[in-house]
Amino acid sequence: MISMPDRFRIQPSKSAGKEKILGSAVEQAREALAELTRPHNVGEHAGVVVEDDRVLTHCFTCLLPGYSGWFWTVTMARIPRSSKGTIDEMALRPGPDALLAPAWIPWADRLEPGDVQPTDRLPLQLEDPRLEQGFEATGEDADQLEDFELGLGRKRVLNNDGRSAAFERWYAGEHGPKTAGTRAAKAQCSTCGFLMLMAGSARTMFGVCANEWSPYDGQVVSFDHGCGSHSETDVPVQKRMWDPSDPVVNESDLDIVGKQ
């Protein structure tokens, strides 16, 4: 698909209006297309587009594979009181039903969080709606700001919207309560000794797992999350299928050697 603004689409008409001279120059326009493409790629004459006084575009159906709804176009013009038209330009242009690619979006705007790798570098967003100046922070985290955050260290910190979006994303994802591991767990993270509490408004809902045997080690988890590596979790002692007897030593093959 070709990326092209919709304003380049054309709508051929069967009427040339008052421009009869250029409107009748269909074969001249078709012959001119031989310089642009092979004749078998040009279909029937689909109509004309009146561009201006004594300027008219002939449209021919494009027969190239993958270009359904496109037109070969030949724009012609003539000087006043002349009965001869001249070729101005030729092009391949989309009609109303032509398939066009979506408008191009800059890489920084179309990037999704899952596309970013640890070694990638993101462009600076001066107007990030999730951030605000450190000295302007308000809400539950305002009293948690250190001196270095008041414009002396971090230039920007999360605002209320940024924090809320992060909390909703964490809670709804695999670090929240709606996971298979949580359903199978015997206890929640809120009662686990490996849970490190967070600061700010996050301290009421989340902590960081510090259990190296947990699949969530070093990751944010909700208090009602859970896994099989809870500090108080144990597995039941398996019962023996039989009681082993004391070992029996066969002494009949032993040679007793006296002390020399």
Q: Output b/e per residue, 17-53; b: 16+ Cβ within 10 A.
A: eebebbbebeebbbebbeeebeeebbeebbbbbbeee
Report percent pLDDT > 90 for the chain.
37
With a cut of 60, say whether residue 146 has pLDDT above it: no
Lowest mean pLDDT among 83-87, 122-126, 190-194: 122-126
Q: Is residue 126 situated within a structural domain?
A: no
Cα distances (angstroms) measured from residue 57 to each of 27, 28, 34, 53, 123: 13, 12, 16, 12, 44
Please count the other Cβ atoms lying within 10 Å of the Cβ belonging to residue 260.
3
Q: Is residue 57 situated within a structural domain?
A: yes
Residues 21 and 95 in one domain: yes
Please count the other Cβ atoms lying within 10 Å of the Cβ belonging to residue 175.
19
Q: Is residue 144 situated within a structural domain?
A: no
Q: Is residue 34 situated within a structural domain?
A: yes
For residues 125 and 166, what is the distance between their CA atoms, to the nearest angstrom?
18
Q: Is residue 180 situated within a structural domain?
A: yes
Average pLDDT across the chain, whole number: 81
User: 110: helix, coil or strand?
Assistant: helix
Q: What pairs with residue 243 in β-bridges?
A: none
User: 147: helix, coil or strand?
Assistant: helix
How many structural domains compose the chain? 2
Q: Which domain holds residue 201?
A: 163-222
pLDDT in tens, 37-54: 999 999 999 999 999 999
Which of 68, 83, 101 delimits the end of a domain?
101
Residues 97 and 179 in one domain: no
Q: Is residue 137 situated within a structural domain?
A: no
With a cut of 60, say whether residue 140 has pLDDT above it: no
With a cut of 90, say whether residue 116 has pLDDT above it: no
Q: Is residue 233 situated within a structural domain?
A: no
The identity of residue 125, as a single letter, is Q
Q: Is residue 109 situated within a structural domain?
A: no
Please state the pTM of the whole predicted model.
0.46
For residues 80 and 72, what is the distance between their CA atoms, to the nearest angstrom?
26
**In the structure, what pLDDT confidence band is assigned to residue 18 with cuts at 50, 70 and 90?**
confident
